[in-house]
Amino acid sequence: MDNNEFNEYNQEPRQYPRQNSQRPRKRVSKETFRKRQFAALCVIAFLVLLFVILMAKACSKKPSSDSSGGDAVPAESQTTDVNEEASTEDPAATTTVTTTTTAPIIDPSKAGAIKLDKYTVYLEVGQAPALALITEHPDGMEEADEVWSSDHPEIATVDEWGHISAVSPGTCYVTVKSAKDPSLEATVKVVVAGEPSLEQTANNTTTTTTTKEPQSARAEAPAPSKINDPKAHYEGDVLIVNKSYSLSSDYNPGGLDPTCSEWFNKLVQGAAEDGINIYLSSGFRSYDYQSQIYNNYVGIYGQDTADTFSARPGHSEHQTGLAIDVNIIDDSFRGTPEAEWIAAHCYEYGFILRYPEGKQSITGYKYEPWHIRYVGTEISYALHDIGPDATLEEYYGIDSKY
């Protein structure tokens, strides 16, 4: 190795220009830049929307100063006005009646509210009653505390067990409350369609004479036609259906017997002449519907108690199409002018009070002042001559026992 080479290796390291250590930036295309802008705007919009939703929920949970408790809807939301107009044509004049129905709105999702299996019922005049079942009682409420009521009984009535019966076309509201705590309640909207009720027909009938026809001069009501059912039991021309005698499960006349319906119309008109309003609350019931009613009562009260006021399927007079429950179907009907008129005059139209007071050991059922049965005037007068509380079981010497 020569000196030149030695000097070359022993000399100071040669200084090279320092290079930039950063990587050169890539240019972003306009299309990529727009996509990034759009994505950023979407994120911002989502955050704003999320903020608005959270604020709305927070505001909706704020308690209202008008509410007395946590179970009720604020007072300003508790009523809805429904206006209905019913026009009745008369040869002399036309009258328009406006009915304002106030509908209490109870939120079934609220804790402590009474829960029902339905909150709207659609019925037709003459159709079998609909049953509103309570599926859940609030804490502190029992079945015995149920209090049912209708805000317009001239449109639909309800009994103490929640059976809703159509009376005349219109809309009303049925409410169930706790007797111990009236703030616990639930409401069913009832819409009734169909022909005007029997009492409306009577009220709208034009009277052509001012002389009242004597009760004794009324035409004789014939016995109803015999039915075609192999299980049917007759005493003379009278079909017997009680705890001892039943009908087949497939027997279904589809409604009231025509003769029974005709003479009930006459009964309604006769009551109207005396200033009494009588209307049909429950007529024909099928075997299946009676089974539903009876099983519901058994589930609530037990079979022994249910058998005192509800017929087992096949043993109900309502399946014959010859039985009618009038006006209010519960003990509050007892002693009313309507109940007294029925007891005193129904026989004149071929009907009998089927379950008189004090005859439970004979008929098998407790006193029902609302339940009448069509038999024709031959039998109705015969029973009346014996006494106002005479029964078919006593007249024919038959039993009524399961």
Domain 198-202+216-396 has CATH 3.90.550.10: no
pLDDT in tens, 349-369: 999 999 999 999 999 999 999
In sign, the C-alpha dihedral spanning 42, 46, 47, 48 is positive
Q: Where are the domains of the chain?
A: 98-193, 198-202+216-396
CATH numeric code, 98-193: 2.60.40.1080
Ranges of residues in the chain with a pLDDT under 70 are: 1-28, 58-112, 194-219
pLDDT for residue 67: 36
> Would you tell me the crossing angle of helices 337-345 and 258-273 to the nearest 10 degrees?
120
pLDDT tens sequence across 177-221 = 888 888 788 888 888 886 444 444 444 443 333 334 434 344 689
Supply the DSSP symbol for 233.
E
Q: What is the pTM of this model?
A: 0.50
CA-based nearest residue to 318, from 144, 188, 132, 127: 127
Q: How far apart are CA 133 and CA 66, in angstroms?
A: 31
> Are 186 and 115 a contacting pair, CB within 8 Å?
yes
Count of residues making up the chain: 402
